[in-house]
């Protein structure tokens, strides 16, 4: 059985980490398989959205498989950061393939640890089972995030929260993760995939160009000065106005057609 499962169902790609005996930790083989999966997702014009999860109920992802990675990191020398700069982690979705404009939803079905937190943060929407915990134990082992974890913690949760989580190295509950906006929703375990698929369906009912432009705009404006943010939002928003689907939806709305959406 492959360490990464990739399945297309309509316009959705399901990507599943499949090493339950290793808490879905990512070794070098898994990393390469994830790169293949993310590349297939990005390049497939028939797929609009991805759902990422892990096999089993113990862990979404325990991060990097330390038995497979640490020795190579320790022996790489001072140029290691430059060597991996374009590779990122978890198949390069944290850095390298991170600018796909297709939405990615994480279904967090178990412990989210170390690089697993970085992987979850690289997704656009995160839904956690209510018994999930998030572990920042890498700090206790002398390491800190290097593949987008600190950057996305700051952008998503703020400086103070990033300082607390990364410097203390302690676990937090799903409820605490929701309070600090690390996850969007917390649901009973038995409802996890239903909730994620409901979110996916509500995204997919919207015109594709608008969805992808909105995601691109959000990523573009993060961290920029206000005037730059306003400029980018304007340029991206009005660039989709030649989409024929806008006219179709407008006409349907004026006819009071339910397919046009609310409002």
pLDDT at 77: 52
More confident residue, 93 or 54: 54
Burial 61-90 (b: 16+ CB within 10 A, else e): bbbbbbebbeeeeeeeeeeeeeebeeebbb
pLDDT at 230: 85
What's the CATH class of domain 4-204? alpha beta
More confident residue, 230 or 161: 161
**pTM recorded for the entire structure:** 0.88
- The encoded tokens of residue 247 equal 């006219």
Residue 48 has pLDDT above 70, yes or no: yes
Mean pLDDT of 156-176: 95
Domain ranges of the chain: 4-204, 208-260
Which tens digit of pLDDT belongs to each residue from 174-206? 999 999 999 999 999 999 999 999 999 999 999
Residue 263 has pLDDT above 70, yes or no: no
Whole-angstrom distance, CA of residue 239 vs CA of residue 251: 20
Q: What angle do CA 244, 229, 147 make, to 5 degrees?
A: 100
Residue carrying the six token digits 């996890």:
192
> Residue 136: what are its φ and ψ, rounded to 5°?
-115, 40
Which tens digit of pLDDT belongs to each residue from 106-151? 999 999 999 999 999 999 999 999 999 999 988 887 777 888 888 8
Closest CA relative to residue 56, chosen from 111, 127, 2: 111
């Amino acid at each position: 059985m492959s360490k990464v499962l990739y399945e297309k169902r309509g316009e959705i790609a399901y990507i599943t980490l499949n090493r339950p005996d290793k808490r879905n930790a990512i070794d070098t083989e898994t990393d390469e398989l994830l790169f293949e999966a993310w590349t297939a997702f990005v390049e497939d014009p028939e797929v609009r959205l991805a759902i990422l999860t892990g096999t089993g109920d113990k862990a979404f992802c325990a991060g990097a498989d330390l038995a497979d990675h640490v020795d190579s990191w320790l022996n790489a020398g001072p140029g290691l950061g430059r060597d991996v700069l374009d590779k990122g982690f978890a198949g390069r979705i944290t850095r390298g393939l991170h600018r796909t404009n297709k939405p990615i939803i994480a279904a967090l079905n178990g412990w989210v640890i170390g690089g697993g937190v970085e992987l979850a943060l690289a997704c656009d929407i995160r839904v956690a089972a209510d018994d999930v915990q998030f572990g920042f134990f890498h700090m206790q082992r002398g390491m800190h995030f290097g593949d987008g974890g600190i950057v996305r913690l700051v952008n998503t949760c703020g400086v103070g929260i990033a300082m607390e989580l990364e410097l203390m190295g302690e676990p937090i509950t799903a409820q605490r993760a929701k309070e600090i906006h690390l996850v969007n929703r917390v649901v009973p375990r038995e409802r996890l995939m239903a909730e994620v698929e409901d979110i996916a369906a509500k995204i997919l009912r919207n015109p594709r160009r608008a969805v992808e432009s909105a995601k691109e705009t959000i990523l573009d404006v993060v961290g920029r000065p206000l005037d730059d943010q306003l400029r980018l939002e304007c340029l991206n928003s009005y660039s989709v106005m030649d989409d024929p689907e806008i006219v179709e939806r407008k006409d349907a709305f004026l006819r009071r057609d339910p397919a046009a959406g609310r409002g």
